Amino acid sequence: MGRAQALAEMALKLEAFKFSPQAPFTWASGYRMPVYNDNRLLLSRPEARRLVAEGFAELLQERGIACEVVLGVATSGIPHAATLADLLGKPLAYVRDKPKDHGLRNRIEGVAAESGLDGRHCVVIEDLISTGGSSAKAVEAVREAGGKASHCLAIFSYGFPEGREAFSSLKPPCQLHTLLEFPLLLETARAKGALSHEQGAALDAWGKDPWGWGAAQGFPKMEKEKR
């Protein structure tokens, strides 16, 4: 069994993916979507954590990616970055979504003063890529701190063009590598009987127009509450 297939089966077993076309989930963007991914559930089993860490390590080796420091994107990327850093015997740090408003006001945490990131090959770890905006900003933060960040590794990607564009539009571009993408996840869910015929048809339609699917089904985008 291939790495991606094993991860798809593990994620479905742990219910890290939930499907609900009839009562869609509201994503952080406000869009109503028929699928939701919670990779935090992979933390509950040692074999799942190991599968992710070994998958990342194999990606680095297969693609000849230099790695001197592993950085997790807060918060969900941190534990998987930690297991990878332990496996590789590399330093670990993490990237906040914004600098702290007190103390040292750090954006990047865990970087020892005597080493730093300056000129070192850094690999950024994320759990999920949708539009890729926050992950691309994390790459920029690592670069601003002096690190060489040319690669981001993620557990799962929905495969949206916006996600790839977020990384390719960086200057210089950053390459995105994922262990599992939505088409294989959907294929595996069908094979395992995790989807009804109606759910499968709805997810196929969603995959063709994810941003317009909700409104077309009578589930318009939810506007964020202003504070």
pLDDT tens digits, 127-148: 999 999 999 999 999 999 999 9
Kindly report the average pLDDT of the chain as a whole number.
92
Which domains does the chain possess?
3-216 (3.40.50.2020)
Tokens of 185: 């996840």
Is the pLDDT score of 152 beyond 70? yes
Extract long-range pairs of 218-227: CB within 8 Å, 24+ residues apart. Answer: 219/24, 219/32, 220/32, 221/29, 221/30, 221/31, 221/32, 222/26, 222/30, 222/31, 222/32, 223/30, 224/30
In this prediction, residues 68-79 reach a mean pLDDT of: 96
Is the distance from CB of 179 to CB of 52 less than 8 angstroms?
A: yes
pLDDT at 69 over 60: yes
CB of 170 within 8 A of CB of 139? yes
14: tokens are 């742990």
Q: Is the pLDDT of residue 105 over 80?
A: no
Q: Identify the DSSP state of 118.
A: T
Identify which of 168, 117, 114 has the alpha carbon closest to the alpha carbon of residue 141. 117
**pLDDT-based confidence at 7, cuts 50/70/90?**
very high
- Indicate if the pLDDT at residue 227 is higher than 60: no
Q: What pairs with residue 14 in β-bridges?
A: none
When pLDDT is cut at 50, 70 and 90, the band that residue 112 belongs to is low
Cβ atoms 67, 90 nearer than 8 A? yes
* pLDDT, tens digit, 9 for 90 and up, residues 29-52: 999 999 999 999 999 999 999 999
List residues bridging with 178 in a β-sheet: 154
